[in-house]
Amino acid sequence: MLRGKRVLIGIGGGIAAYKVCEVISSLFKAGAQVRVILTESATAFITPLTVSTLSRHPAYRDRDFWQPTHQRPLHIELGEWAEIFLIAPLTANTLGKLACGLADNLLTNTVLASRCPILLAPAMNTEMWEQLAVQRNWQQLRQDPRYHSVGPDAGLLACDRVGTGRMAEPTEIFLALQSLLYTQGKRDLVGKQILISGGGTREFLDPVRFIGNPSTGKMGLALAQAAFYRGASVTLVCAPLEGSVPVQILEIANAAQMREAMLQCLPKADWIVMSAAVADVKPASYTPHKLPKKALPDCLPLEPVPDILAELGTKKHPHQRLIGFAAQTGDIVKPALEKLQRKNLDAIAANPIDRAGAGFASNTNEAVFLDRAGRQQTIPSCTKLELAHQLFDFIQTVK
């Protein structure tokens, strides 16, 4: 998603500037071309040498603005070059300039000379962030379709204040950049209510032993991230997972809890994407204290758990779209087609879990998308975030 992409980064004057170093490094490692603009106040927190070393390209400052070495004005060249523009940390000062359309330095001039999507990552003291003027400027920018945001988060700030104002973490910014590069800033899922399940359920025998599977929830998380950055309202029902996404998250442990949460959220959903790896069976009885090893049964009685996807298929309304996942070995298409028909799905993503770099716990995935009209689309190996975006593209074409 990033190889060869042109990413322009503007760094504002704030202590969070050090976090941007990780973003620059990650972008370069992913194959992106990176250019960096430092405001004069930013150089008090991070040096041009640091960012130029990480980006493998000289950093730009205000003193480079009108140098005769540039055949064309620098802000015009950079604005036309960029495919996406990240401003991080976004300070209250730069926010105010952007809201008013002011251009008194290289960074703000380049904003006005560009047409690409702009991702804003605010960072400031909580009192500053909550000021009426700052919030007015922020809401004004968010109404402009060019501007997208990540954060700010809540937590301990550099001023020892606990509250909202922390810049989003580098991993969150990196994921947001990938989504915006894929969509080119379009918000084609605005107005959609999307319900997603993710992760693997655990069916406990006692407080420490359970029947489960290797699912980590990475695919569900990627689906939630992709839908969010395309403008959807997202609810993620999931087992505990690593990572974060700025959507409503309902944490569950077992299949019964997932069923309850999914059925509760179903009436408001337009699309339901069931990517969770739900257990098929559970221990017939649960012991609330840890069983001693000698008390473990030689033969463990099991009973089936409710088929959540099939139940959703019987309850969905004509305007709703229900999408399943089928983790398979060997031939993945035939079992997925049978599942599609049997459970009244609108589409399904068939995953090979017996191939390297696909399926459970991997950062990449591959799939075959199928719908009830008989269409098939093969998705070669890619990141799970890219696969999520391609699935949403596919769902929009389902009749």
- Average pLDDT, 10 consecutive residues per value, the chain (399 residues): 91 93 94 95 94 94 78 88 95 95 94 95 91 94 91 80 86 92 91 94 91 88 93 92 81 93 96 92 91 88 92 94 91 92 94 82 89 92 93 93
188 within domain boundaries = no
Residue 325 is labelled as binding a ligand? yes
CB 39 within 8 A of CB 66: no
- The string of pLDDT tens digits covering residues 11-22 is 999 999 999 999
What's the alpha-carbon Rg for the chain, to the nearest Å?
24
Give me the pLDDT at residue 10, please: 97
Residue 28 is labelled as binding a ligand? no
Number of structural domains found in the chain:
2
Residue 97 is labelled as binding a ligand? no
235 within domain boundaries = yes
Give me the pLDDT at residue 70, please: 63
Residue 308 is labelled as binding a ligand? yes
56 within domain boundaries = yes
Look at residues 121, 152, 183 and tell me which one is the last residue of a structural domain: 183
Nearest to 315 by CA among 347, 377, 272, 359: 272
The tokens of 239 are what?
């087992």
- Between CA 345 and CA 351 the distance in angstroms is 16
Residues 107, 164: one domain? Answer: yes
95 within domain boundaries = yes
Give me the pLDDT at residue 12, please: 94
Residue 280 is labelled as binding a ligand? yes
Look at residues 183, 212, 239 and tell me which one is the last residue of a structural domain: 183
CB 138 within 8 A of CB 132: no
Residues 387, 253: one domain? Answer: yes
CB 266 within 8 A of CB 317: no
227 within domain boundaries = yes
Q: Which residue range is the domain that position 231 belongs to? A: 193-396
102 within domain boundaries = yes
Q: Is the dihedral of CA 28, 81, 102, 48 positive or negative?
A: positive
> SS in 3 state form for 26-66?
HHHHCCCEEEEEECCHHHHCCCHHHHHHHHCCCCECHHHCC
Q: Which helix (H) or strand (E) holds 177?
A: helix 170-183
Residues 294, 362: one domain? Answer: yes
Nearest to 220 by CA among 59, 375, 50, 391: 391
Residues 211, 326: one domain? Answer: yes
Contacts by 378-386 with C-beta closer than 8 Å and gap 24+? 381/357, 382/1, 383/1, 383/178, 383/222, 384/218, 384/219, 384/222, 385/1, 385/175, 385/178, 385/179, 385/182, 385/222, 385/225, 385/226, 386/1, 386/178, 386/182
The tokens of 87 are what?
């401003």
Nearest to 117 by CA among 86, 152, 77, 81: 86
**What is the SS3 assignment for 203?**
strand
CB 363 within 8 A of CB 1: no
159 is catalytic: yes
1 within domain boundaries = no
Residues 160, 213: one domain? Answer: no
> Which residues, 6 or more positions from 316, have their beta carbon under 8 angstroms from its beta carbon?
266, 272, 322, 344
Q: Is the dihedral of CA 299, 301, 304, 305 positive or negative?
A: negative
Residues 228, 376: one domain? Answer: yes
Residues 179, 220: one domain? Answer: no
Nearest to 369 by CA among 387, 353, 357, 356: 387
Residue 290 is labelled as binding a ligand? yes
Residues 158, 84: one domain? Answer: yes
Residues 391, 347: one domain? Answer: yes
- Between CA 278 and CA 260 the distance in angstroms is 13
Under DSSP, the state recorded for 277 is B
Residues 50, 169: one domain? Answer: yes
CATH code assigned at 73:
3.40.50.1950
CATH code assigned at 307:
3.40.50.10300
Catalytic residue among 100, 159, 299, 382: 159
Residues 176, 215: one domain? Answer: no
pTM for the model: 0.88
Residue 56 φ/ψ region, left for φ over 0, alpha for ψ in the -120 to 50 degree band, beta for the rest: left
Residues 205, 169: one domain? Answer: no
The tokens of 301 are what?
């009685």
Contacts by 63-68 with C-beta closer than 8 Å and gap 24+? 64/106, 65/105, 65/106, 65/109
Look at residues 135, 156, 183 and tell me which one is the last residue of a structural domain: 183
218 within domain boundaries = yes
